[in-house]
């Protein structure tokens, strides 16, 4: 338990800095550059989030487990090196496509800013967090992600205020996201880029294909509300959606921290030695987080949004209620995906659930737009019910099979009883 609490402290306090730091910068955009600029940045970030998920290619889900279960340091270095090239190539490709798309969606005066914001957001795919989770060392996050990103934010704030040039925000964000992985490469390989092994990288693409597809589909429909608000309801709605979405993403950080803390702890023992009990602890903690976090987002979200982004950029409480429900369902889903299905190689169920959620959620969001922004977010929450039903059913079935297998290994034979 002491080790678990230590990991929780490390994987909560350290990455929290990266999440808090932008809160000092982001309010500058709606208050200095206006609601249209805020909505354009939000739209570009939504597109960039999808591109980052495409470029991440499932490593955020599968990478930590692969690192945790690897044999030695050499194997871990090889996995990270392969992932660096796997993700880096996709950052260039997906980021270019996303930049072109976001520049079309926003008003003409914000096209260059939107393109750069999308590229910077796509670069978040190069995160080192999942590697740190796999090795159980939060200091890796501090040195190779938190510090570079925080320094870039600290530099961007005075430059935005002094020059009133919004371009500084995406430029410095891009630098912050790319600096950490390059520094980690220097530590692991003594060179800024790891060795390139084409066949292994192709195998990595194949191994992660189903997880990547599921994550991409999931990221697409969860990022859809802001572009849909921009296209259907206009700049004001997209700006308000951006404000609420920021607090939703910050709240999701709690889910990420909890799952990162628990993943290695759950997987480091076998079913015969208590893994099932640890699964139940993880489920209970995620359920508690679902209730507390969902309620907090609903009640406190409008208050903090008004304080930071202003009344005009803050949507009605029904929007935060929809995001709170989405948060709760996401928290309940996460331990079944991260700790049960993916480590067992049952990625197809994650894909099925996510595909079903997208097929249900996107039409519901479009249909719900007739009731305004709150209708769009209600469609988002409904989509999470679909993936929850699929992964809980598949995960529970797998756990029952593993439980029977574990008991069969320790049960005495008939001859022994006699």
Give the pLDDT confidence of 394-407 residue by residue, as tens digits.
Answer: 999 998 887 777 66
pLDDT the model gives residue 414: 47
pLDDT the model gives residue 123: 94
Give the end-to-end CA distance of the chain in Å, rounded to a whole number.
40
Q: Phi first, then psi: what are they for 182, rounded to 5°? A: -65, -40
Buried b (16+ CB within 10 A) or exposed e, 187-209: ebeeeeebeeeeebbeebbebbe
Across residues 49-68, what is the average pLDDT? 86
User: In this structure, what token pair is assigned to residue 281?
Assistant: 């602890």
pLDDT the model gives residue 418: 40
The pLDDT tens digits for 167-176 are 999 999 999 9
The pLDDT tens digits for 143-161 are 898 899 889 988 999 999 9
Give 268: exposed, middle or buried? Use CB within 10 Å, 0-12, 13-18, 19+. Answer: middle
Q: Is the pLDDT of residue 18 over 70?
A: no
Q: CA 305, CA 314: separation in Å to the nearest integer?
A: 6
Pair 217, 360: CB distance under 8 Å: no
Q: CA 270, CA 362: separation in Å to the nearest integer?
A: 39
3-state secondary structure of 58: coil
Pair 335, 309: CB distance under 8 Å: no
pLDDT the model gives residue 264: 73
Across residues 241-250, what is the average pLDDT? 89
3-state secondary structure of 412: coil
- Which stretch of 192-201, 259-268, 273-282, 293-302 has the lowest confidence by average pLDDT? 259-268
Cα 34–chain centre separation: 28
Q: CA 96, CA 88: separation in Å to the nearest integer?
A: 12
Tell which residue, 226, 241, 262, 304, has the closest CA to residue 44.
226
Cα 387–chain centre separation: 16
Pair 317, 181: CB distance under 8 Å: no
Q: CA 330, CA 218: separation in Å to the nearest integer?
A: 11
Task: Give, in degrees to the nearest 5, the angle at Cα 347 between 345 and 348.
Answer: 125
Pair 137, 68: CB distance under 8 Å: no
Neighbouring C-alpha atoms within 13 Å toward the C-beta of 91? 20
Q: CA 85, CA 82: separation in Å to the nearest integer?
A: 6
Q: Is the pLDDT of residue 1 over 60?
A: no
Q: What is the largest CA-CA distance in the chain?
A: 86
For 297, the enclosing helix (H) or strand (E) is helix 275-309
The residue that leads in pLDDT, 332 or 197, is 332
Cα 158–chain centre separation: 28
Tell which residue, 298, 315, 296, 319, has the closest CA to residue 380.
319
Question: pTM of the entire structure?
Answer: 0.72
Indicate the Cα dihedral angle 176, 215, 250, 335, nearest 10°. Answer: -120
User: In this structure, what token pair is assigned to residue 377?
Assistant: 């977010």
- Which stretch of 46-60, 179-193, 221-235 has the lowest confidence by average pLDDT? 221-235
What are the Cα distances from residue 192, in Å, to 43, 92, 146, 152, 311?
32, 17, 19, 20, 46
Pair 395, 341: CB distance under 8 Å: yes
Across residues 360-365, what is the average pLDDT? 92
């Amino acid at each position: 338990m002491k080790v678990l609490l230590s990991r929780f402290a490390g994987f909560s306090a350290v990455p929290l800095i990266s999440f808090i730091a932008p809160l000092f910068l982001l309010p500058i955009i709606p208050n200095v550059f206006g609601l249209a600029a805020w909505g354009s940045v939000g739209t570009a970030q939504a597109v960039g989030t999808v591109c980052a998920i495409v470029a991440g290619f499932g490593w955020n889900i599968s990478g930590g487990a692969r690192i945790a279960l690897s044999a030695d340091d050499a194997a871990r270095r090889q996995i990270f090196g392969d992932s660096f090239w796997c993700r880096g190539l996709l950052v260039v490709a997906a980021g270019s496509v996303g930049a072109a798309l976001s520049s079309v969606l926003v008003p003409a005066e914000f096209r260059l800013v939107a393109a750069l914001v999308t590229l910077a957001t796509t670069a978040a795919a190069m995160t080192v967090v999942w590697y740190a989770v796999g090795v159980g060392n939060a200091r890796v996050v501090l040195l190779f992600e938190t510090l570079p990103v925080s320094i870039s934010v600290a530099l961007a704030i005075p430059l935005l205020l002094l020059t009133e040039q919004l371009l500084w925000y995406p430029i410095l964000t891009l630098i912050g996201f790319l600096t950490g992985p390059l520094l980690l490469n220097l530590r692991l390989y003594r060179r800024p880029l790891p060795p390139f092994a084409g066949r292994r990288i192709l195998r990595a693409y194949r191994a992660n294909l189903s997880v990547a597809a599921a994550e991409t589909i999931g990221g697409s429909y969860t990022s859809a509300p802001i572009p849909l608000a921009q296209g259907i309801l206009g700049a004001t709605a997209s700006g308000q959606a951006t404000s609420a979405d920021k607090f939703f993403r910050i709240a999701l950080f709690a889910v990420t921290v909890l799952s990162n803390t628990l993943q290695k702890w759950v997987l480091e023992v076998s079913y015969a030695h208590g893994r099932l009990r640890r699964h139940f602890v993880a489920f209970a903690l995620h359920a508690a987080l679902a209730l507390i976090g969902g309620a907090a987002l609903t009640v406190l979200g409008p208050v903090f949004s008004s304080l930071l982004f202003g009344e005009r950029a803050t949507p009605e409480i029904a929007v935060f209620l929809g995001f709170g429900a989405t948060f709760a369902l996401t928290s309940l889903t996460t331990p079944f995906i991260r700790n049960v299905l993916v480590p067992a190689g049952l990625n197809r169920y994650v894909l099925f659930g996510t595909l079903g959620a997208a097929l249900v959620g996107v039409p519901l969001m479009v249909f719900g737009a007739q009731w305004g922004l709150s209708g769009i977010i209600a469609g988002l929450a409904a989509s999470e019910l679909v993936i929850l039903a699929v992964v809980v059913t598949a995960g529970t079935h797998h756990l029952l099979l593993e439980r029977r297998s574990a008991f069969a290994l320790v049960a005495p034979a008939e001859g022994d009883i006699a």
